[in-house]
Structure 1
Amino acid sequence: MEQTTAETSAAAEGVGVATAQKKMKVLVPVDESDGSFYALRWALDHLFSSSEPQDEQEPNTITLVNVQPVFQPFIYPAGPVVYATPAVIEAVKKAQEQNAANILARALRICKDKKVKAETLILEGDPKDRICQAAEQLQVDLVVVGSRGLGTIKRALLGSVSNYCAHHAHCPVLIVKPPPKLSHE
């Protein structure tokens, strides 16, 4: 029994005990919403140390992902189906790429200000599915998503990316609620 006490007290003092920690891989989806950037700042403040990593501790890694919706080249108005021309399709794809690049550049600046290296990923498709797929493919340990602060009815009608991810991702999902002033903007 005394040996256990000695080991416990040595561990508490940090004497002769190796405290190597596994690095955590974090995925943070970002879009143009304030809620997603609030979640990014929260993750950086709470999961990433601003001090230099020690030899025994590997730094956590963060991957920023932006999911652009698939452009449908046809339109279903009240009348016959209308198809978009190749020039329109190309212009829309370029605009989506530029939008994703701008969002990720803003997120990267926030990471750089906190002295955290980040990787970026641009995906296309349904954000709910693509975020969960990316989390699995990248084998992340945690997904940190923002919440738009929708009420029950709006959430039911519009769907909730954070709710879907919480139920379908292979890893833990942390939903960061924004402060009251951001949640309804």
Structure 2
Amino acid sequence: MKKYQNIIVPTDGSVNSKRALEHAVIIASAVGATITLVYVANIVSVISNFDQIPNANGYVTEQVALDMEEDGKKVLDDFAKAIPQEVSVKSVFEVGSPGPAILSVAKKYNADLIVMGSRGLGPLKGLFMGSVSSYVVTHSVCPALIVK
């Protein structure tokens, strides 16, 4: 029988990612697994909108990156606080394309399961759209549970 040791939970702060975390906590509590929370800042899509702003120099993009990191780490901290103390938790902040970044983290941390929301419409709309969960399900080498 398969034993879950590390459950990856991508989050963007949305309601569906909170639901996914609830499921992950139930599973982790039952089997003694660690939860690894993942927040992916998709800075490329945000910065691409600056090409229409004449004064979008390096400072603006650098500030956007810093703001996204601060927001992401706050989401990770808030989600980590919602996990019972008896469940071990790690937090990972990544920058990149959400689907590949989630799978990269899953590989790096030897994930046994990925639990994620079907659509994320949190503070950074579009970070976890349905296409991201489809990408993860299609390309993951471990099981993925998509929560609605």
Q: Deviations over 1:59-117 (max 9, x none)?
A: 3111100000124377343xxx8462232122211110111011001111111x35322
Distance 1:95 1:64, change over 3 A: same
Aligned Cα root-mean-square deviation (Å)? 2.6
Superposed displacement of residue 135, structure 1: 1.0
Is 2:134 the counterpart of 1:163? yes
Q: Which runs of at least 4 in structure 1 moved beyond 3 Å after TM superposition?
A: 73-77
Distance 1:159 1:145, change over 3 A: closer
Q: Which residue of 1 aligns with 2:28?
A: 47
Distance 1:83 1:171, change over 3 A: farther
Q: Which residue of 2 aligns with 1:129?
A: 100
Query: Structure 2: which 5+ runs fail to align?
Result: 121-128
**Distance in 1 separating the partners of 2:25 and 2:85:** 7
**Based on CA coordinates, which of the two structures has the bigger radius of gyration?**
1
Is 2:86 the counterpart of 1:115? yes
SS at match of 2:43: coil
Superposed counterparts of 1:143-162, under 5 Å: 143-148=114-119, 159-162=130-133
Contact 2:76 2:91 in 1 (8 A): yes
TM-score (norm 2): 0.80
Q: Which residue of 2 aligns with 1:138?
A: 109
TM-score (norm 1): 0.66
Give the share of equivalent positions with the same residue, in percent.
33
Query: Structure 1: which 5+ runs fail to align?
Result: 1-20, 50-56, 150-157, 178-185
Q: Which residue of 2 aligns with 1:65?
A: 38
**Distance in 2 separating the partners of 1:63 and 1:176:** 17
Q: Which residue of 2 aligns with 1:75?
A: 50
**Distance in 1 separating the partners of 2:117 and 2:49:** 32
